Amino acid sequence: MGLLDGRRALVFGVANDHSIAWGIARALHEQGAEVGFSSIESLIEKRVRPLAESIGSTFIEPCDVQSDDQIRTVFERWRQTYGDDASLDILVHALAFARREDLEGEFVDTSREGFALALDVSAYSLVALVREARPLLREGSSVITLTYYGAEKVVANYNVMGVAKAALEASVRYLAADLGPDGIRVNAISAGPVRTLAAAGISGFKRMYGEFADVAPLRTNISTEDVGRSAVYLASDLSAAVTGEVHYVDAGFNILGVPTGES
C-alpha cells in the first residue's frame, strides 16, 4: 500500500542519476505512482530512458521548455497515451538554466539577454507547463517545483538565478491562487545545495557545500532522497491543505540569522 497508488506523475528535469528530479521520481514510484519523464531531447536516449525504464516507465518525451510547441506536444502525447480523460495527478518541475558567465562575478553585469534567458527557462517555464497541463489536472492534483535560498537572500555568484527563483516562488503563489478553486495545489521545495550537474563547476560551490554541513542545524548535507520524501508529502493527500508554500529541505539552514558553526 503506497501513498500514491494509482496516481500518475510527470517529471521534468532528469539529466542523470544525480538529478533532484530523479530522486523525486524514484520516491514517487516507491509510493506506487506511475512516473512519466520529459527532458531535453539530447539527454533522452543515453541518460533518461535507461533510468526511466529501471522503474518501469514508458512515457518518455523530449521537451525544451523554451518552446511552446514542444510543451504542447508533451501534453498531447500524454493525452494520446492515457486517453482524453487522462488525469495528471503530479507535475514535477525540476529545471533551471542561466548562462555560466552570469553565475560568476557581479549581478550588476547581467546582460538583458542573460536575464531574459534565466527567467524564461527557470521561472516562466512553470507557468507555461501548468497552463498546458491544466486540462489534465484534477481535484487533488499537485504541482511541485524546486527553488533555492538564493531567491530570498544574497548568495555569492547565484546572481541572476536568485532573481529567477524569486520570480518562480512568486509564480507558485499566483498559480496556487488560480488553481486552488479547482482543488489543485502548487508548492515549491527549497533544497539545500546538492552535487548535481547543475552545481558542477560552479565557482565556490565545493566550499559552500562543505561549510553547509558545519553550520546547518542538523549538521548534514541533504540528499536527493531527502527531497524525494518531501515531494511524496507534497504530492500526496498528507498535504491536502497546503498550497502556495515554499517547503525547506535544507537541514534547517534557512532559520539561521548568522550562519556560523558556533551555535
Residues that bind ligand NAD (CB under 6 A): 13-15, 19-21, 39-40, 43, 64-66, 94-97, 121, 146-148, 191, 193-194, 196-199
Q: 235 exposed, middle or buried (CB, 10 Å; 0-12, 13-18, 19+)?
A: buried
13 vs 36, beta carbon nearer ligand 0WE: 13
Residues 89/7, Cβ–Cβ less than 8 Å:
yes
158 carries an active-site annotation: yes
130 vs 161, beta carbon nearer ligand 0WE: 161
Nearest to 152 by CA among 163, 160, 144, 143: 163
Q: Which residues does residue 186 pair with via DSSP β-bridges, in sequence order?
A: 143
Nearest to 186 by CA among 216, 147, 140, 142: 142
Residue 10 interface partner, choices ligand NAD, ligand 0WE, none, CB cut-off 5-8 Å depending on type:
none
Please give the size of the binding site for ligand 0WE, defined by CB under 6 A: 15
Residues 234/190, Cβ–Cβ less than 8 Å:
no
How many Cβ atoms sit within 10 Å of the Cβ of residue 98?
23
Cell numbers found for residue 173 = 503563489
Distance CA 225, CA 230 (A): 9
Residue 184 interface partner, choices ligand NAD, ligand 0WE, none, CB cut-off 5-8 Å depending on type:
none
Residue 40 interface partner, choices ligand 0WE, ligand NAD, none, CB cut-off 5-8 Å depending on type:
ligand NAD
- Does residue 100 touch ligand 0WE according to CB under 6 A? yes
How many Cβ atoms sit within 10 Å of the Cβ of residue 237?
11
The active-site residue out of 149, 158, 233, 248 is 158
x-or-dash string of contact with ligand 0WE, 204-223, rule CB under 6 A: -x------------------
x-or-dash string of contact with ligand 0WE, 132-161, rule CB under 6 A: ----------------x------x-xx--x
148 carries an active-site annotation: yes
The active-site residue out of 82, 124, 148, 209 is 148
How many Cβ atoms sit within 10 Å of the Cβ of residue 46?
9
Residues marked active site are found at: 148, 158
